[in-house]
Amino acid sequence: MKKSIRKWVLDNARKYDGKASMGAVVGKLLAENAEIKAKLKELTPDIKKIIDEVNNLTVEQQIKELEKLAPELLVEKKIVEEKKLKPLPGAEKGKVVMRLAPSPSGVQHIGHAIVFSLSHLYCKEYDGKLILRFEDTKAEDIYAPAYKMTEDVLNWLCENRIHQIAIQSDRLETYYDYGEQLISKGKAYVCTCSADLFRDFMMKKKACPCRDLPVKENLLRWDKMFVEYEPGAAVVRIKTDINDPNPAMRDWPALRINHSVHPRTGEKYKVWPLMNLAVAVDDHEMGVTHTIRGKDHVDNAKRQQHIYDFFGWKAPIHSYIGKIKFEGIEVSKRKLKAAIERGHYDDWDDIRLPTVAALRRRGFQPGAFHKFAQDMGIGLNDKLVPAVDFFKSLEAHNRDIIDPIANRYFFVWDPVKAAVKNAPEQEVHVPLHPDDANRGHRVFKTNSNFYISKEELALLKAKKLYRLKDCLNFRKEGKELVFESAEYDKFHKEGEATFTWLPADAKLCDVEVLMPDKKFVKGLGESVLADLPVSTIVQFERFGFCRLDKKDGKKVTFWFAHK
């Protein structure tokens, strides 16, 4: 009985953000076995206990346990996951405005790709407008090349549907204007207390001496922030409720003095808004109706609400996603930046990095990220995603997208010459795509001399029947490979394995494939590979999907995507 209860609790929990409810579980139990109705009262404590236990697990743990206990219930999960996006609260078609708000402190990694994909998907779904806004008011954190790289990657990720680009460091005068208005209305003040002193006041829920100074005096101090005060000597604070249960909410700072040289504006500006003021002003001015951000922004949204209330503005509707922890993948921008600077990686798109730029260069498509983001969805619960699962899922989504579009080619890695005794001279036609004859085919003139991969050759067993794909059948007799026939039917009946090959006497090109561990696999490919445009995605038969990255004379370099 307990097993049955646990099964339904797990099932209910994983469907509703990790939290099962008594009513739903009882409903399922009764539907399964009506006779337990009589025993329900005595079962209730057990059910309650199990609900408590299960609700304390992460959704991943719940699903894992359910997989063991009742895998049949998860069959339907796939359908649920593949369903459309959850509706965006309060959204109307044609009236949604959302923003992507990256900080140009590094480049976008898989975690950002999830949040940004969701915003993009909702904008697309509701015919909305998508704004890319660089939040760059903290000069010391900025990595100058990140503006260009981020714009490029996000345009790609959002299928060129970004309607407007804004940069906060272009908007300083606007923030000053609102800052001054807040001071003039008595909603903000210039605090010259030291950080420690101010904290003491707030912990005691007492106003600091600056809070109640006349507006005139505060405006004077405001002017001094631009010309006289040193960094740290004064800060504009928003008047909130100093009895707020959360001390971090009490009179939070909105503008500060910062003399750091900004990569875009140099030394022109000395006073900078902090994130919450800049975000509230921008969201209002840009008409943002909905936001999706990590749940670490829940408190920030409360702070921004103060500004909305002071000005009588309507706040956007905020949705959050829980923290996604990629187990076994380092995604901290700061750590990645340090590792690149130390020379551990070539650049932000080093093939070993979990950045969108690197995965894009390997041949991953925006749609694969979108599908993954859709599976994650909006919702507050945290998710632990092991690296293996993440890549398995991203690769499966990507395969669905590129398998129908990628043409097939022969690449023989680590090639060795192999003669197939008695092989006739043939003209062999190999289709570019097995499911689409209209795309045409490649033509090879063959004789008895081939290139085969050393690795594949080593697999051959004596007397067994093998096939060179679309070309001929052969057996290994002693040390020789001997032609048997060219018909596929014979191979189909008793064949062991099919190999890729290249005619040894034809014009070929040198191919190297950069693998995710940054090692090259080298070999030979069909000469037509050298004619493909850079960025073409191909499937090398028996090897995997790859993206053409570079052409250099006779040599063609690919990046490996996945099997």
Least Å from the CB of residue 310 to Zn ion: 19
**Using CB under 5 A, which of the segments 202-210, 272-280, 364-372, 478-486 binds Zn ion?**
202-210
Residue 527 and residue 506 in contact, taking contact as beta carbons nearer than 8 Å: yes
Of 80-88, 191-199, 227-235, 528-536, which segment contacts Zn ion by CB under 5 A? 191-199
The token duo for 482 is: 């001997």
Q: Whose Cβ is closer to Zn ion: residue 69's or residue 215's?
A: 215
Nearer to Zn ion, 200 or 480 (CB): 200
Alpha-carbon distance of 349 to 156, in angstroms, equals 15
Sign of the torsion formed by the C-alpha atoms of 92, 95, 100 and 101: negative
* H or E element at residue 165: strand 164-167
Quote the CA–CA distance of 365 and 359 in Å, as a whole number. Answer: 8
Q: Are 167 and 269 in contact, with CB atoms under 8 Å apart?
A: no
* Beta pairing, strands 502-503 & 495-499: unpaired
Q: Tokens 């337990």 belong to which residue?
A: 36
Q: Which stretch binds Zn ion (CB under 5 A): 187-195, 292-300, 375-383, 542-550?
A: 187-195
Is position 73 an interface residue for Zn ion (rule: CB under 5 A)? no
What's the min distance (Å) between Cβ of 258 and Zn ion?
Answer: 19
In the set 9, 25, 139, 191, which binds Zn ion (CB under 5 A)?
Answer: 191
Can you tell me the distance from the alpha carbon of 236 to that of 227, in angstroms, rounded to the nearest whole number? 15
Closest CA to 452 of 357, 364, 524: 524
Report the C-alpha gap between 152 and 355 in whole angstroms.
Answer: 13
Shortest separation between residue 238's beta carbon and Zn ion, angstroms:
13
- Smallest gap from residue 278 Cβ to Zn ion (A): 22
Distance in Å, CB of 218 to Zn ion, minimum: 11
Please choose, out of 204-212, 311-319, 346-354, 476-484, the segment that lies near Zn ion by the rule CB under 5 A: 204-212
Helices (H) and strands (E) in the chain, counts: 18, 27
Does residue 208 touch Zn ion according to CB under 5 A?
A: yes
Q: Which stretch binds Zn ion (CB under 5 A): 82-90, 185-193, 453-461, 470-478?
A: 185-193
Pick the closer one to Zn ion by CB: 181 or 194. Answer: 194
To Zn ion, the closest distance from the beta carbon of 204 in angstroms equals 13
Q: Is residue 292 a contact partner of residue 320, using CB atoms and an 8 Å limit?
A: yes
| Residue 301: CB minimum distance to Zn ion, A | 25
Nearest approach in angstroms of CB 243 to Zn ion is 17
In the bound state with Zn ion, the residue whose beta carbon lies nearer, of 13 and 193, is: 193
Q: Which is nearer to Zn ion, 193 or 561 (CB)?
A: 193
Output 5 or 236, the one with its CB closest to Zn ion.
236
- Minimum CB separation of residue 237 from Zn ion in Å reads 7
CB 294, CB 229: distance < 8 Å: no
Using CB under 5 A, which of the segments 31-39, 190-198, 416-424, 475-483 binds Zn ion? 190-198
Which of 148-156, 193-201, 248-256, 336-344 is the region at the interface with Zn ion (rule: CB under 5 A)?
A: 193-201
Q: Which residues contact 400 (CB under 8 A, 6 or more apart)?
A: 371
How many residues does this entry show for the chain? 563
Interface with Zn ion, residue 202, by CB under 5 A: no
Name which of 191 and 513 has its Cβ closer to Zn ion: 191
SS3 408: strand
CB 92 within 8 A of CB 311: no
Nearer to Zn ion, 99 or 256 (CB): 256
Contact between 193 and Zn ion by CB under 5 A: the answer reads yes
HEC states along 495-521? EEEEECCEECCCCEEEEEEECCCCCEE
Using the contact rule CB under 5 A, the part of the chain among 174-182, 210-218, 336-344, 469-477 near Zn ion is: 210-218
Tell me how many residues contact Zn ion (CB under 5 A): 4
Cβ 295 to Zn ion shortest distance, Å: 31
Q: 204: closest CA among 238, 249, 253, 242?
A: 242
- The partner residues of 321 in beta bridges, in order of sequence, read 294, 379
Question: Which of 29, 202, 210, 278 touches Zn ion by CB under 5 A?
Answer: 210
Element housing 427 (H / E): strand 426-431
Q: Which is nearer to Zn ion, 208 or 538 (CB)?
A: 208
Where does residue 343 fall: left (phi above 0), alpha (psi -120 to 50 degrees), or beta otherwise? left
If the CB atoms of residues 187 and 476 are measured against Zn ion, the closer one turns out to be 187
Q: Interface residues with Zn ion (CB under 5 A)?
A: 191, 193, 208, 210
